[in-house]
């Protein structure tokens, strides 16, 4: 029997500077960019890593970490295999959330919205900029499918290396991007005594309403 893990005394006291309402920009995308640049400057490892949560086909929440590849007025984009588990879930229900956990700054940003596929042209353009190994990986992996062992992947990788030289790897038809059009943003800053700062942006016509939430 595995011994139970008692983590009741495992905690960190948050001590970062808080966030006041007057410090927030009126546009949440602009505010996100400010916090993102601060995360980069602070040395946060992969500050573009985000947890994408979708509704599982079995009714359970389904989450995984992917990398943000662009953010603009249209939304937040990432790229993946459309035949993967996440692809099937998004096809069934496009509603999703993004979570950026910037632990080093005692911050997180939570974004809700709906996902749509990027254009084929945009997917092609990004795929062409990927490293050679990553391009081959997109062809090698039948993402989320059961495989007998890693050797299956390594053997297929070697086969494809012989077939496609660098610069000549075709983008798979089942590979491309998704973009989340944001409906709300929550900016969270850890504070002492667990009295954290939380600010919620909700779209209101062409603008955004900003409210403070209790921690």
Residues 60-116: pLDDT tens digits?
999 999 999 999 999 999 999 999 999 999 999 999 999 999 999 999 999 999 999
Residue 76 falls inside a structural domain: yes
Residue 106 falls inside a structural domain: yes
Residue 46 falls inside a structural domain: yes
**pLDDT for the residue 183:** 97
Domain that holds residue 46: 21-128+174-213
Residue 62 falls inside a structural domain: yes
Number of domains within the chain: 1
Residue 11 falls inside a structural domain: no
Active site residue 194: yes
**Looking at 130, 194, 203, 212, which residue is catalytic?**
194
Residue 133 falls inside a structural domain: no
3-state SS class at 26? coil
**For the chain, which ranges sit under pLDDT 50?**
none
């Amino acid at each position: 029997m595995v011994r139970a893990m008692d983590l009741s005394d495992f905690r960190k006291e948050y001590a970062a500077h808080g966030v006041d309402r007057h410090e927030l920009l009126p546009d949440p995308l602009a505010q996100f960019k400010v916090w993102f640049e601060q995360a980069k400057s602070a040395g946060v490892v992969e500050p573009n890593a985000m947890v994408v949560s979708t509704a599982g086909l079995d009714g359970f929440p389904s989450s995984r970490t992917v990398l943000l590849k662009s953010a603009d007025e249209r939304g937040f984009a990432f790229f993946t295999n459309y035949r993967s588990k996440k692809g099937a879930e998004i096809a069934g229900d496009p509603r999703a959330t993004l979570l950026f956990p910037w632990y080093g700054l005692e911050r997180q940003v939570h974004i809700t919205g709906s996902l749509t596929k990027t254009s084929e042209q945009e997917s092609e353009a990004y795929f062409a900029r990927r490293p050679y190994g990553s391009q081959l990986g997109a062809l090698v992996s039948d993402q989320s499918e059961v495989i007998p062992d890693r050797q299956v992947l390594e053997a297929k990788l070697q086969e494809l290396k012989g077939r496609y030289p660098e610069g000549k790897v075709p983008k798979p038809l089942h590979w491309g991007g998704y973009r989340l059009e944001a409906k709300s943003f929550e900016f969270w800053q850890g504070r002492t005594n667990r009295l954290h700062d939380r600010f919620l942006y909700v779209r209101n016509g062409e603008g955004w309403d900003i409210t403070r939430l209790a921690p």
